[in-house]
Every structure is written in C-alpha cells, then in structure tokens.
Structure 1
Amino acid sequence: MNMLSRACVNALEDSDTPGAAMAVLETETDVERHTFGLLRQKGDASVRSTTLFQAASLSKPVTAWGVMKLVETGRLYLEDTVYEDLTVRHLLSHTGGLATVHDLGIRPHEGGGDLLTDVRSAHPVGEFWYTNAGYSLLQILIEKVSGRSFADYMYEEILEPLGMKHSSFNLGADQLVDDAVRGHDYLGQQVPVLWHAQQAAAGLYTTLDDLIRFAQANLNGGGGVLQPDMVALMHNRVERPIPYGLGYHILTLPKSSRLVWHSGHNRGFRTWIGFLPKLQKALVVLTNSDHGQSVIAEVVWNWLVQMIGDVPDGAKQTLDLLPKTRYQRYQQDMSGLQR
C-alpha cells in the first residue's frame, strides 16, 4: 500500500466515511486505481472502480465540454448573449453576477420544477460568484441549440465518445444498478436516492473508471472529442484575477505549476478531480459521505506534496485542505446552502 492509499484508509476510518474510490494518473496511460470500503454503511458490498457515484459539481466541467463542443462546431459562440446581457462565457466562468443557488435534490419523479425560478442577478457582472444558476441556463441552452434533451445530448456527444459509457445525467432510483453507492449524512444515516433537476450543475452519475477517461482526455488535449485549443481555453483563467476558467477552478502553485480542479458536494457525497497539465498528472477522489471532505483533504494534500513539495497556506485555504472539526465542516456546509 502506497502513501496515498494509506492516507485515504486512515482518513476513511477517522471520518467514518463508508467508502471511497481513488485514481492517480502518473501519465496518461499509467493509472493506479484504488477502492476502499463499502457501498453503504449497513451492508457488505464493496466499492469497485465500476461503482456509480454522484459526481455532484464535477458535473460542471463535464457540462462545459458539452458547451465547448457546440462552440467548436460553430453552433454557439462564447460571446453569444444567453440571458439578459449575460454571455456563454459569463455562465461558464461564474462571472454573470447571478445569485448563489443550490440543488438539494428531490426524490425521483417528484418533479423538477422550473430551472429559471432561482435565476436572478445579485452581484456585478464580471465578478466571480460561484453558483449553479449559470449552469442551469447552460442546460436550457444546450437543449435549445441541440434539439435534444440535455442528458441525451451529453451522452451522445461527450460521455459515449470519451468512453464514459456507464455515466449519465439522467439516472433515477429505478435505473440504479446494485453497484451504486448510497450517500451518508453527518450522522452516518443513509441519504435517500435523490434526483437533481439542475443536471448540468450537479446531476451526473459516474464511476471511477469513467472519470479516469475524462482525466485522460483533459491531459491529452481532448481525447478526440474536442480540439486541444478548446481544452486549453477551458483550463486557463478567463481573466487574471478570476480563479476560474471555463468549467474549472484554476490555481497557481509553486514551481509555476497550474492546478486545474473541481470539487463536488451533493447531500451525502464529496468528490474531487484535479490536473497538473505541466506535469501531466491527475487525481480523482470519490466518497459517499458528508464527511468525505476530510478524506479528500488528506489525499489531495499528500498528492500535491508529492508533486510540487510544500503547499502554501493560501492554496490550502482555497482547496479546503486545512483541518476542521466535524462540527466546523457541518457549519460551513450549512452556511453555504443557506446563502
């Protein structure tokens, strides 16, 4: 067992997180897969690399690929106005000034509601304010431009061509296979299987194996689905002061290393994916608990130390790697959901 595996196992035990799946990409083709623990707290089925997880906000960079496919083929332009005076670029980069909204999930088939309900201006356009609202608008836009449902378009144009054949933006409880994890809350209770109307922002179900394929495509310039210049555009800040590209957080680390990353948080799930394009390295971590951020923090910190040496305190703060008690993490999450 290597250092990252030990860090993950120890963090799982310390946090009472039932299960996790982790992949370390040393090169595009040199991949280590590690799976730990159980699909659910009260069960005996083990997590595998083919196990389905809720990706949570890892949905956003995948959605960004769907948008950029339309841009690449000339069916959209980044400066097209989508909503009021907001452009495609504004929505992809969270610079549209829209209010922060979250999708807490509903039980399947309860009805998703109107995606436009919570779309409202709250901040100056051009400033970075992270919100699901812009990606709800992109979800509507993709359906309008493609003439297909969002889930069908994303599967046919992005997921299947990348080899992510077990992933979907349209899975409900009646479609989940036995090999799917269940989320767990801060009390260790199993969370009901929930469906997310904000599919583009939070609705992807995926596996470790499929996210490895996504990571490889990010490192190799598009995986034949997007051109390298489209991927490069997503992986760079929209403007120097803004810590976000087109679908990804961007963080500059020591040794001029640029970390392209995204985290995810749905009820009962914590997820993370990151790339160091200069070094051609990547990391994926999936967990099935609200406590999973403690696991992610430990693994990501150890990985970055191996890659670049010491991680500055500012970067630790940005990446949520600083130690917190369970109560502090709970309070942080609740304050975020109430904004």
Structure 2
Amino acid sequence: MPSALLLPVVTCAVVLLVSGVAKLRAPATVDAAFTSLDVPAALDTPLVRRLVPWAEVALGAWLLLATGAALAVVAALALALFVAYLVLVVRAQRRPEPVDCGCFGALGSARVTRVTVWRNVLLVVSAALAVVAGLRGVGVIAALVDGGALAWLAASALTVAVAVLVTHRDAPAEQGSGVPSSATSEPSTDEAGEYVREAIPRAQVLTEDGTLVLLAQESARAAHLLVFLSPGCGPCGRIGPLVAGWNEQLAPVVVRAVVAGQPSVVDTWLTYLQGHAWFDPHGVTRAAFSAGNPSAVLLGADGLIAGGPVHGEEAVSAFVAEVAEQLREARAEGELSSADIANRPEDGAAAAEPADEGAKPADERAEAAEAGVTDAR
C-alpha cells in the first residue's frame, strides 16, 4: 500500500531541485547568501560555494529515484543539509540588524524573518519523515497512488505549508516605520530625461562616537557620497571594504558608509569601516533617500542632491567610477587643487578655520569639493 510518507520525500526533492537550479542560474546569490548568513570560514570557500547548487540538485534527483536503504541514506544527507541551513537562519534571525539571504534566488523573500525559520523547521521535519520513508522501504517511483485518506491529508498539509513559506514575500514596509522598504526609487528626471536635482532631505545620522550629524549641514562643508549598507547583506559585504579606498580616491569628496544599525556594529562585523561610517539605527535616513541594500547617493555642497540614488552592487560601483572620472577631469582643468584635498573635513569634526589669510574659507572649499560632480547620476 502506498504511504503518505511519499509526500515529505517529494517535498524535499522539489525544494532541493528548485533551490539548486535557482542558484545555478544566479551564482552571485550563493556568494551573497554565504556572506549574509556568516557561514563558518572552514566552509566558506569558492569550491564549496560552487558545489552547493549541484549538491542540492543531486540530492533532489536522488530522493525521487531511490528506494529503501538508498532512500534512507540520501534523506539523511538532505536532513543534515536542512539542519545546517536551519542553524544559519536562526543565527541570522537573532541578529539585531536585518539579514538578506536570497536562499531561493528571485523566488520568495530574501529577508530572513521568523517565517524563514519556520520554513526551515518544516523542511527539517520533511527530511526526517523522508528518512523514515526510506527505512520503511517506501520509494517514489515504485509507489502506487492509494492510501489512507487521513494520513494523506496530513502529509499534503505539510507539503502546502512548505510551499507557501518558500514562496512567501514580506509586504513592503511603510516609510517611517523604522524598517526600510524593499522598493527603491529612481532618480528624478524632467520631460527631456535630464536629471533633476532635489533638495537634500532633512535627515541625520550618528557618528561612531554617537554624535548626531545633520546631512545638509555636513554636505555644506564638502560634497558627500553616501553608500548605504546593511550588516546582513551579501553585496554590502563585498562593497563595504571598498569604502575606505573610495574615500581616498574621490577626495575632496567625502565618502561615508551609512550603516543600518548602531555604531557598535563596526566593532563586531564591520571593522573595516572604522573611521568611514555613519549609522542609521532606525532606518529613517535610508527611507528619506529610498535607499536599498546597497545603494549610493551624492550630496552636493549647495544643499542639493548631485547624483543618484543608484541601487545594487554593480550600479554603486559604476556610480563611484563616474564620480571619480568627473573629479579627474576637474583636476585636469585646474578646478581642484591639492589644497582642496588636504583641507577636506574629517568625520563629524567642526569646520576648520582658515590657517592664514591665503587659505580658502570653508564655503569656498565646499564649492571646490563639489566641482565636476554636480551632474553625476
């Protein structure tokens, strides 16, 4: 007689096949997931990252084809994999900052939440039942479609629950709720498609020592390139280490990472951002710019947004390269000097007074810092 235990076997097989194929179609999501979920260093290697999708596909196919003892073995391997995934998402869900994993590529929600944890719990239960199916000699291919109605209904409910949680997407958060929305805005353009500069929002951030900084006030001293990052975002983990170099490369523009969370995060996960980060613990500034993970915006010294926002790892890198090119042109045309670069304001420091009568005042340095970047997009 066919067993209701076939459904958990099929559930695990389908989830593994869908997950593996999605990862193979978008390898970057695997790298992002490993970074976001803080996979132990011993397992976080290029070889393991490339093997994971193939392992999922192989396990999924084997679950459908195996019977008896072979099914018990492959189900045990799937169970071990799902338990490992459960441990990673539980750790991620307990972090004080939001974590994105994109475990199923574009399918389902990328944000790790309680729903993600319950989804993985049900996958562990399904894999455990698949082990039982193997021990009882059940096999998908060899099965006949017949069995007890109650058992099949219960197993079907488990399958439906897993499917719903896998494809679940969180509703976008409203601005002002403290949780950044997954939606991001595009830069404003006029009827001719030209970039329209808007006023810098009345927003503030925290420095590493906890001091409140008004963005409009800071940008009046020098143009600022803000790079919005989150500790649990895979692409952010790749962009974050570049911020310090960008700050040197784009002088006299000041480059700052705006990190979702409290200043303490640089002491735990983001040590490479020390001295180059501001903090947005409640997501208010992120919402003001409709910023995603990651994204970037250029603030001019005239109180207007000079470029962006742009969204995504590749777009942010291209945006930085564009600003760097415009600064090189400004230097070549004599619009920027070494003095402009040397007099760039420090993070959260008070505006410096001219050293002598020949030194440029702060407002002139700010104008020079903006030269060549007011039309960046």
* TM-score between the two structures when normalised by the length of structure 2: 0.20
* More relative contact order, 1 or 2 (CA 8 Å, 6+ apart): 1
Return the structure number with greater strand share. 1
* TM-score between the two structures when normalised by the length of structure 1: 0.22
Return the structure number with greater helix share. 2
